[in-house]
Protein backbone atom coordinates (compact mmCIF):
# COMPACT_ATOMS: atom_id res chain seq x y z
CA UNK A 1 0.00 0.00 0.00
CA UNK A 2 2.72 2.48 0.95
CA UNK A 3 4.93 1.61 -2.03
CA UNK A 4 2.01 2.21 -4.39
CA UNK A 5 1.36 5.62 -2.81
CA UNK A 6 3.79 6.87 -0.12
CA UNK A 7 1.35 9.68 0.82
CA UNK A 8 -0.80 7.04 2.49
CA UNK A 9 1.76 7.06 5.32
CA UNK A 10 -0.01 10.21 6.56
CA UNK A 11 -2.94 8.00 7.56
CA UNK A 12 -0.81 6.62 10.40
CA UNK A 13 -0.89 10.12 11.90
CA UNK A 14 -4.66 10.59 11.65
CA UNK A 15 -6.31 12.10 14.74
CA UNK A 16 -8.40 8.96 15.15
CA UNK A 17 -5.14 7.11 15.98
CA UNK A 18 -3.97 9.74 18.49
CA UNK A 19 -3.98 7.23 21.36
CA UNK A 20 -2.29 4.45 19.38
CA UNK A 21 1.46 3.87 19.41
CA UNK A 22 1.94 3.36 15.68
CA UNK A 23 5.72 3.07 15.83
CA UNK A 24 6.33 0.59 18.64
CA UNK A 25 5.15 -2.64 16.90
CA UNK A 26 7.44 -2.05 13.90
CA UNK A 27 10.41 -1.09 16.10
CA UNK A 28 9.92 -4.34 17.99
CA UNK A 29 9.78 -6.37 14.77
CA UNK A 30 13.12 -4.94 13.62
CA UNK A 31 14.81 -6.94 16.35
CA UNK A 32 13.15 -10.31 15.77
CA UNK A 33 11.51 -12.38 13.09
CA UNK A 34 12.83 -13.26 9.65
CA UNK A 35 14.41 -10.91 7.12
CA UNK A 36 11.17 -10.29 5.23
CA UNK A 37 9.52 -8.93 8.39
CA UNK A 38 12.58 -6.83 9.32
CA UNK A 39 12.86 -5.31 5.84
CA UNK A 40 9.18 -4.38 5.62
CA UNK A 41 9.13 -3.01 9.19
CA UNK A 42 12.12 -0.81 8.39
CA UNK A 43 10.53 0.58 5.22
CA UNK A 44 7.19 1.19 6.95
CA UNK A 45 8.94 3.05 9.78
CA UNK A 46 10.98 5.17 7.36
CA UNK A 47 7.86 6.17 5.42
CA UNK A 48 5.65 6.85 8.44
CA UNK A 49 8.37 8.84 10.26
CA UNK A 50 8.93 10.97 7.14
CA UNK A 51 5.19 11.61 6.82
CA UNK A 52 4.63 12.74 10.42
CA UNK A 53 2.99 16.18 10.87
CA UNK A 54 5.19 19.18 11.61
CA UNK A 55 4.18 21.90 14.04
CA UNK A 56 5.61 25.33 14.82
CA UNK A 57 6.97 24.03 18.12
CA UNK A 58 8.67 21.03 16.61
CA UNK A 59 7.35 17.61 15.76
CA UNK A 60 4.45 15.78 17.32
CA UNK A 61 4.82 12.01 17.13
CA UNK A 62 1.78 10.05 15.86
CA UNK A 63 -0.25 13.27 15.71
CA UNK A 64 -0.94 12.82 19.42
CA UNK A 65 -2.37 15.75 21.35
CA UNK A 66 0.12 17.27 23.80
CA UNK A 67 -2.29 16.72 26.72
CA UNK A 68 -2.66 13.00 26.01
CA UNK A 69 -2.06 10.75 29.02
CA UNK A 70 -1.09 7.77 26.89
CA UNK A 71 2.64 7.04 26.95
CA UNK A 72 3.76 6.71 23.35
CA UNK A 73 7.13 5.97 21.79
CA UNK A 74 8.77 9.35 21.25
CA UNK A 75 10.01 10.28 17.80
CA UNK A 76 13.57 10.62 19.15
CA UNK A 77 13.45 7.05 20.46
CA UNK A 78 12.12 5.83 17.10
CA UNK A 79 14.86 7.61 15.14
CA UNK A 80 17.62 6.44 17.49
CA UNK A 81 16.37 2.85 17.24
CA UNK A 82 16.15 3.06 13.47
CA UNK A 83 19.62 4.57 13.04
CA UNK A 84 21.11 1.93 15.33
CA UNK A 85 19.48 -0.87 13.32
CA UNK A 86 20.53 0.65 9.97
CA UNK A 87 24.17 0.99 11.10
CA UNK A 88 24.12 -2.64 12.24
CA UNK A 89 22.91 -3.66 8.76
CA UNK A 90 25.77 -1.74 7.14
CA UNK A 91 28.30 -3.46 9.44
CA UNK A 92 26.80 -6.98 9.56
CA UNK A 93 23.87 -7.37 7.14
CA UNK A 94 21.08 -9.74 8.23
CA UNK A 95 20.59 -10.65 4.58
CA UNK A 96 23.56 -11.20 2.22
CA UNK A 97 22.19 -9.25 -0.77
CA UNK A 98 19.32 -7.16 0.64
CA UNK A 99 20.67 -5.93 4.00
CA UNK A 100 22.88 -3.08 2.75
CA UNK A 101 20.58 -1.84 -0.09
CA UNK A 102 17.64 -1.73 2.33
CA UNK A 103 19.64 0.22 4.93
CA UNK A 104 20.89 2.73 2.32
CA UNK A 105 17.41 3.15 0.83
CA UNK A 106 15.94 4.01 4.25
CA UNK A 107 18.86 6.29 5.17
CA UNK A 108 18.38 8.24 1.94
CA UNK A 109 14.85 9.04 3.14
CA UNK A 110 15.70 9.63 6.81
CA UNK A 111 18.87 11.77 6.55
CA UNK A 112 16.69 14.74 5.60
CA UNK A 113 16.01 14.88 9.35
CA UNK A 114 18.60 16.92 11.33
CA UNK A 115 18.24 14.60 14.33
CA UNK A 116 19.00 11.57 12.12
CA UNK A 117 22.13 13.23 10.71
CA UNK A 118 23.31 13.88 14.26
CA UNK A 119 22.55 10.32 15.45
CA UNK A 120 24.15 8.80 12.35
CA UNK A 121 27.39 10.75 12.82
CA UNK A 122 27.49 9.92 16.55
CA UNK A 123 27.01 6.24 15.71
CA UNK A 124 30.13 6.45 13.48
CA UNK A 125 27.93 5.76 10.47
CA UNK A 126 29.71 8.02 7.96
CA UNK A 127 32.70 5.68 7.57
CA UNK A 128 30.28 2.83 6.75
CA UNK A 129 29.13 4.67 3.62
CA UNK A 130 32.62 5.29 2.16
CA UNK A 131 33.34 1.73 0.84
CA UNK A 132 30.01 1.87 -1.06
CA UNK A 133 31.13 4.94 -3.06
CA UNK A 134 32.65 3.21 -6.08
CA UNK A 135 31.90 3.08 -9.82
CA UNK A 136 28.98 0.79 -10.67
CA UNK A 137 27.91 -1.06 -13.81
CA UNK A 138 24.75 -3.12 -13.20
CA UNK A 139 21.35 -1.46 -12.76
CA UNK A 140 21.14 -2.75 -9.19
CA UNK A 141 24.59 -1.46 -8.20
CA UNK A 142 23.93 1.91 -9.91
CA UNK A 143 20.82 2.39 -7.76
CA UNK A 144 22.78 1.52 -4.59
CA UNK A 145 25.53 3.96 -5.65
CA UNK A 146 22.98 6.69 -6.33
CA UNK A 147 21.28 6.27 -2.94
CA UNK A 148 24.68 6.15 -1.16
CA UNK A 149 25.71 9.40 -2.88
CA UNK A 150 22.32 10.86 -1.96
CA UNK A 151 23.11 10.08 1.71
CA UNK A 152 26.51 11.79 1.35
CA UNK A 153 24.86 14.83 -0.26
CA UNK A 154 22.39 15.11 2.66
CA UNK A 155 25.28 14.79 5.13
CA UNK A 156 27.18 17.56 3.30
CA UNK A 157 24.71 20.03 4.86
CA UNK A 158 25.80 18.96 8.35
CA UNK A 159 29.11 20.40 9.61
CA UNK A 160 30.23 17.51 11.90
CA UNK A 161 29.63 15.03 9.07
CA UNK A 162 31.87 17.04 6.72
CA UNK A 163 34.87 16.44 9.01
CA UNK A 164 34.22 12.70 8.83
CA UNK A 165 33.86 12.79 5.03
CA UNK A 166 37.28 14.48 4.82
CA UNK A 167 38.88 12.10 7.36
CA UNK A 168 37.68 8.94 5.61
CA UNK A 169 38.77 10.16 2.14
CA UNK A 170 35.33 10.39 0.56
CA UNK A 171 36.45 12.98 -2.03
CA UNK A 172 38.80 10.72 -4.06
CA UNK A 173 36.02 8.12 -4.27
CA UNK A 174 33.42 10.69 -5.31
CA UNK A 175 35.80 11.99 -7.99
CA UNK A 176 36.25 8.42 -9.32
CA UNK A 177 32.48 8.03 -9.49
CA UNK A 178 31.83 11.31 -11.31
CA UNK A 179 34.72 10.60 -13.72
CA UNK A 180 33.36 7.21 -14.77
CA UNK A 181 29.58 7.50 -14.38
CA UNK A 182 27.25 8.11 -17.33
CA UNK A 183 24.07 8.03 -15.25
CA UNK A 184 22.75 11.60 -15.01
CA UNK A 185 21.16 11.26 -11.57
CA UNK A 186 24.44 9.93 -10.10
CA UNK A 187 26.51 12.73 -11.68
CA UNK A 188 23.98 15.31 -10.50
CA UNK A 189 23.99 14.29 -6.83
CA UNK A 190 27.81 14.03 -6.71
CA UNK A 191 28.27 17.45 -8.37
CA UNK A 192 25.79 18.98 -5.89
CA UNK A 193 27.80 17.39 -3.06
CA UNK A 194 31.02 18.92 -4.42
CA UNK A 195 29.31 22.30 -4.58
CA UNK A 196 28.36 22.04 -0.89
CA UNK A 197 31.85 20.93 0.18
CA UNK A 198 33.84 23.36 -1.98
CA UNK A 199 34.22 26.05 0.69
CA UNK A 200 34.73 23.65 3.62
CA UNK A 201 38.23 23.31 5.08
CA UNK A 202 40.73 21.88 2.60
CA UNK A 203 38.03 20.30 0.40
CA UNK A 204 38.45 22.87 -2.39
CA UNK A 205 42.23 22.33 -2.48
CA UNK A 206 41.75 18.54 -2.52
CA UNK A 207 39.30 18.81 -5.43
CA UNK A 208 41.87 20.80 -7.42
CA UNK A 209 44.57 18.21 -6.71
CA UNK A 210 42.28 15.33 -7.62
CA UNK A 211 41.90 16.82 -11.09
CA UNK A 212 38.26 17.86 -10.67
CA UNK A 213 38.59 21.08 -12.76
CA UNK A 214 39.46 18.99 -15.84
CA UNK A 215 36.64 16.52 -15.12
CA UNK A 216 34.13 19.39 -14.80
CA UNK A 217 35.21 20.73 -18.19
CA UNK A 218 34.66 17.28 -19.69
CA UNK A 219 31.22 16.98 -18.04
CA UNK A 220 30.19 20.42 -19.32
CA UNK A 221 30.88 19.26 -22.87
CA UNK A 222 28.29 16.46 -22.52
CA UNK A 223 24.59 16.82 -23.31
CA UNK A 224 22.73 16.84 -19.99
CA UNK A 225 18.97 17.43 -19.79
CA UNK A 226 18.93 18.57 -16.14
CA UNK A 227 19.21 22.36 -15.86
CA UNK A 228 20.10 22.14 -12.14
CA UNK A 229 23.09 19.96 -13.07
CA UNK A 230 24.29 22.44 -15.72
CA UNK A 231 23.97 25.32 -13.24
CA UNK A 232 25.82 23.37 -10.53
CA UNK A 233 28.64 22.51 -13.00
CA UNK A 234 29.09 26.21 -13.84
CA UNK A 235 29.10 27.20 -10.15
CA UNK A 236 31.56 24.42 -9.29
CA UNK A 237 33.86 25.43 -12.16
CA UNK A 238 33.91 29.06 -10.96
CA UNK A 239 34.51 27.99 -7.35
CA UNK A 240 37.41 25.72 -8.33
CA UNK A 241 39.01 28.53 -10.34
CA UNK A 242 38.87 30.74 -7.23
CA UNK A 243 40.51 27.96 -5.20
CA UNK A 244 43.33 27.62 -7.72
CA UNK A 245 43.99 31.37 -7.50
CA UNK A 246 44.06 31.28 -3.68
CA UNK A 247 46.44 28.35 -3.41
CA UNK A 248 50.13 29.20 -3.35
CA UNK A 249 52.33 26.92 -5.42
CA UNK A 250 53.66 25.18 -2.29
CA UNK A 251 50.11 24.62 -0.96
CA UNK A 252 49.27 22.88 -4.24
CA UNK A 253 52.46 20.85 -4.11
CA UNK A 254 51.83 19.87 -0.49
CA UNK A 255 48.29 18.68 -1.28
CA UNK A 256 49.61 16.65 -4.23
CA UNK A 257 52.22 14.91 -2.07
CA UNK A 258 49.92 14.28 0.92
CA UNK A 259 47.23 12.77 -1.33
CA UNK A 260 49.85 10.62 -3.08
CA UNK A 261 48.79 11.92 -6.51
CA UNK A 262 52.24 12.80 -7.81
CA UNK A 263 52.45 13.69 -11.49
CA UNK A 264 54.66 15.84 -13.72
CA UNK A 265 52.83 19.10 -13.02
CA UNK A 266 54.93 22.17 -14.02
CA UNK A 267 56.14 23.03 -10.50
CA UNK A 268 58.26 19.84 -10.17
CA UNK A 269 60.70 20.95 -12.87
CA UNK A 270 60.53 24.66 -12.16
CA UNK A 271 63.85 25.84 -10.57
CA UNK A 272 62.08 28.95 -9.21
CA UNK A 273 59.59 26.79 -7.30
CA UNK A 274 62.42 24.93 -5.55
CA UNK A 275 64.48 28.04 -4.90
CA UNK A 276 61.52 29.99 -3.45
CA UNK A 277 60.00 27.16 -1.40
CA UNK A 278 62.90 25.01 -0.24
CA UNK A 279 62.65 26.23 3.38
CA UNK A 280 58.95 25.24 3.44
CA UNK A 281 60.12 21.61 3.37
CA UNK A 282 61.42 22.10 6.92
CA UNK A 283 57.86 22.48 8.29
CA UNK A 284 56.62 19.82 10.74
CA UNK A 285 60.03 18.16 10.97
CA UNK A 286 60.39 17.73 7.17
CA UNK A 287 56.92 16.15 6.88
CA UNK A 288 56.68 16.49 3.08
CA UNK A 289 60.14 15.00 2.53
CA UNK A 290 59.22 12.08 4.80
CA UNK A 291 56.02 11.48 2.78
CA UNK A 292 58.04 11.50 -0.47
CA UNK A 293 60.34 8.84 1.00
CA UNK A 294 57.29 6.80 2.08
CA UNK A 295 55.95 6.97 -1.50
CA UNK A 296 59.31 5.71 -2.79
CA UNK A 297 59.09 2.83 -0.30
CA UNK A 298 55.46 1.83 -0.76
CA UNK A 299 53.95 2.97 -4.08
CA UNK A 300 53.39 0.46 -6.90
CA UNK A 301 52.64 3.13 -9.50
CA UNK A 302 55.66 4.05 -11.70
CA UNK A 303 54.67 7.73 -12.15
CA UNK A 304 54.53 8.70 -8.42
CA UNK A 305 57.74 6.68 -7.87
CA UNK A 306 59.58 8.58 -10.63
CA UNK A 307 58.29 11.98 -9.48
CA UNK A 308 59.12 11.26 -5.82
CA UNK A 309 62.71 10.29 -6.75
CA UNK A 310 63.05 13.44 -8.84
CA UNK A 311 61.68 15.65 -6.05
CA UNK A 312 64.05 14.14 -3.47
CA UNK A 313 66.93 14.85 -5.87
CA UNK A 314 65.69 18.46 -6.19
CA UNK A 315 65.61 18.77 -2.41
CA UNK A 316 69.21 17.54 -2.23
CA UNK A 317 70.24 20.05 -4.87
CA UNK A 318 68.50 23.13 -3.42
CA UNK A 319 68.66 22.65 0.36
CA UNK A 320 72.01 23.57 1.98
CA UNK A 321 71.91 20.41 4.12
CA UNK A 322 69.94 18.31 1.63
CA UNK A 323 72.33 15.36 1.35
CA UNK A 324 72.74 15.05 5.13
CA UNK A 325 68.99 15.25 5.85
CA UNK A 326 68.05 12.71 3.14
CA UNK A 327 70.76 10.32 4.37
CA UNK A 328 69.57 10.72 7.97
CA UNK A 329 66.04 9.78 6.89
CA UNK A 330 67.40 6.52 5.37
CA UNK A 331 66.22 7.41 1.86
CA UNK A 332 69.33 6.10 0.04
CA UNK A 333 68.55 2.38 0.54
CA UNK A 334 64.93 2.86 -0.55
CA UNK A 335 65.82 4.78 -3.71
CA UNK A 336 68.58 2.28 -4.63
CA UNK A 337 65.98 -0.51 -4.71
CA UNK A 338 64.38 1.31 -7.66
CA UNK A 339 67.57 1.30 -9.76
CA UNK A 340 66.43 -2.00 -11.33
CA UNK A 341 62.76 -1.06 -11.70
CA UNK A 342 61.01 -2.23 -14.87
CA UNK A 343 60.03 1.36 -15.70
CA UNK A 344 62.78 3.36 -17.45
CA UNK A 345 61.23 6.57 -16.08
CA UNK A 346 61.65 5.29 -12.50
CA UNK A 347 65.24 4.03 -12.99
CA UNK A 348 66.31 7.29 -14.65
CA UNK A 349 65.04 9.42 -11.76
CA UNK A 350 66.28 6.99 -9.10
CA UNK A 351 69.75 7.22 -10.71
CA UNK A 352 69.63 11.03 -10.67
CA UNK A 353 68.69 10.96 -6.98
CA UNK A 354 71.55 8.58 -6.10
CA UNK A 355 74.02 10.66 -8.12
CA UNK A 356 73.10 13.75 -6.14
CA UNK A 357 73.34 11.83 -2.88
CA UNK A 358 76.86 10.56 -3.66
CA UNK A 359 78.32 13.36 -5.74
CA UNK A 360 76.58 16.47 -4.49
CA UNK A 361 74.37 18.86 -6.42
CA UNK A 362 77.04 20.50 -8.60
CA UNK A 363 78.55 17.34 -10.11
CA UNK A 364 75.20 15.52 -10.44
CA UNK A 365 73.79 18.48 -12.37
CA UNK A 366 76.83 18.35 -14.69
CA UNK A 367 76.34 14.64 -15.27
CA UNK A 368 72.63 15.13 -15.96
CA UNK A 369 73.38 17.81 -18.58
CA UNK A 370 76.18 15.67 -20.10
CA UNK A 371 73.94 12.60 -20.39
Residue 131 neighbours by CB distance under 10 Å: 12
At residue 360, the pLDDT reads 57
Burial of 188 (0-12, 13-18, 19+ CB in 10 A): buried
**317 and 365 Cβ atoms separated by less than 8 Å:** yes
At residue 252, the pLDDT reads 82
Q: What residues contact residue 157 under an 8 Å CB cut-off, 6+ apart?
A: 117, 196
pLDDT in tens, 64-108: 444 444 567 788 889 999 999 999 999 999 999 999 999 999 999
**337 and 355 Cβ atoms separated by less than 8 Å:** no
Q: Each residue of 57-90: b (16+ CB within 10 Å) or e?
A: eeebbbbbeeeeeeebbebeebbbbbbebbbbbb
- The three state secondary structure string of the chain is CCCCCHHHHHHHHCHHHCCCCCCHHHHHHHCCCCHHHHHHHHHHHHHHHHCCCEECCEECHHHCCCCCCCCCCCHHHHHHHHHHHHHHHHHCCCCCCCHHHHHHHHHHHHCCCHHHHHHHHHCCCHHHHHHHCCCCCCHHHHHHHHHHHHHHHHHCCCHHHHHHHHHCCHHHHHHHHHHHCCCHHHHHHHHHHHHHHCCCCCHHHHHHHCCHHHHHHHHHCCCCCCHHHHHHHHHHHHHHHHHHHHCCHHHHHHHHHHHCCCCCCHHHHCHHHHHHHHHHHHHHHHHHHHHHHHHHHHCCCHHHHHHHHHHHHHHHHHCCCHHHHHHHCCHHHHHHHHHHCCCHHHHHHHHHHHHHHHHCHHHHHHHHHHC
Residue 132 neighbours by CB distance under 10 Å: 20
What stretches in the chain show pLDDT beneath 70?
55-71, 246-248, 360-371
The CATH homologous superfamily of the domain defined by 250-369: V-type ATPase, subunit H, C-terminal domain (1.25.40.150)
Q: Where are the domains of the chain?
A: 2-51+73-247, 250-369
At residue 139, the pLDDT reads 86
Which CATH code fits 2-51+73-247?
1.25.10.10
pLDDT in tens, 317-360: 999 999 999 999 999 999 999 999 999 999 999 999 999 988 75
Amino acid sequence: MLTANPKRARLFHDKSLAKEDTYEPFLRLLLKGNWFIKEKSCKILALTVSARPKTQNGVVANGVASNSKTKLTTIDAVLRGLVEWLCTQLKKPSHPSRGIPTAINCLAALLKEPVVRSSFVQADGVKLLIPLICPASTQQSIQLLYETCLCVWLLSYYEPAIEYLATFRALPRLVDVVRSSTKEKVVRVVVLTFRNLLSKGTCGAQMVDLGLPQIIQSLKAQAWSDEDLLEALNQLEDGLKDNIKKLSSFDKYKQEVLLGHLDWSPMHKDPLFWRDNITCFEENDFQILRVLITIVDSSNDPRPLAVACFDISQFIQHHPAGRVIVNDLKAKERVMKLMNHESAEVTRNALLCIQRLFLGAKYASFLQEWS
